[in-house]
C-alpha cells in the first residue's frame, strides 16, 4: 500500500465551529494535516478532499481506482441515505474504512443505518478526530506498508 484517499462529506467543512461539543474543536484543515502527517510517518501518501455534493464524492471514488490503494470515507449525512455512494465503493473495489467522529450507533435511530458500512472493510466511529489516524493505521496494518504503525492513541 502506498496511497490513501481521505474523503469527507457534507458539513465537515464546518468542523471546529459546528457543534463543537459533539464534533470537537479541531477544524477539517487540522484533521487533514494530522492525517497527512500520520501517512508520512508510515511511508504513505495521504490525500484529503471534502465536498458537500454527493456526485463529487462519487466521482472521486471512481477516479481513485488505479490511483489510490484505499479510501477513508466520512460520508457525513450521506452515510444514512446514499445507496449511490455504497454502489460506487463496491464498484471500484478499493478497501474503504467508514469513519465517523461520533458513535452513530448511540445517536438518533436514523443515524444507526449505514449504507457505507455494508461495503466498508472496517468502521471506526466515536473516537473524534483521532479516528482518522486510527483508520490510516488500520489500513496500514491490514494491507501492509513495510513499516509498523506506532501506537500513539489509547482507549476510546
Looking at beta carbons, which pairs linking 61-64 to residues 24 or more positions away fall under 8 Å? Answer: 61/7, 61/85, 61/88, 61/89, 61/92, 61/94, 62/88, 62/91, 62/92, 64/5, 64/92, 64/94
Q: Residues 53, 80, 100, 115: which is the catalytic one?
A: 100
DSSP state, residue 42: T
Q: Is residue 115 flagged as an active site residue?
A: no
The cell for 54 is 454527493
Q: Tell me how far apart the alpha carbons of residues 46 and 30 are, in angstroms, rounded to a whole number.
A: 14
Q: Is residue 143 flagged as an active site residue?
A: no
Residue with cell 494491507: 143
Q: Residues 23, 78, 115, 132: which is the catalytic one?
A: 23
Task: List, by residue number, the catalytic residues.
Answer: 23, 100
Amino acid at each position: 500500500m502506498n496511497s490513501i484517499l481521505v474523503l469527507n462529506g457534507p458539513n465537515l467543512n464546518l468542523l471546529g465551529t459546528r457543534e463543537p461539543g459533539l464534533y470537537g474543536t479541531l477544524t477539517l484543515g487540522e484533521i487533514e494535516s494530522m492525517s497527512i502527517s500520520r501517512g508520512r510517518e508510515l511511508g504513505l501518501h495521504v490525500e484529503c478532499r471534502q465536498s458537500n455534493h454527493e456526485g463529487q464524492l462519487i466521482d472521486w471514488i471512481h477516479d481513485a481506482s488505479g490511483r489510490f490503494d484505499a479510501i477513508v470515507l466520512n460520508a457525513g449525512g450521506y452515510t444514512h441515505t446514499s445507496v449511490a455512494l455504497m454502489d460506487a465503493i463496491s464498484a471500484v473495489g478499493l478497501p474503504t474504512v467508514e469513519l465517523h467522529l461520533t458513535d452513530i450507533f448511540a445517536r438518533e435511530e436514523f443515524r444507526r443505518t449505514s449504507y457505507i458500512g455494508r461495503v466498508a472493510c472496517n468502521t471506526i466511529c466515536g473516537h473524534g478526530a483521532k479516528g482518522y489516524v486510527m483508520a490510516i493505521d488500520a489500513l496500514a496494518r491490514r494491507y501492509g506498508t513495510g513499516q509498523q504503525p506506532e501506537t500513539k492513541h489509547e482507549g476510546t
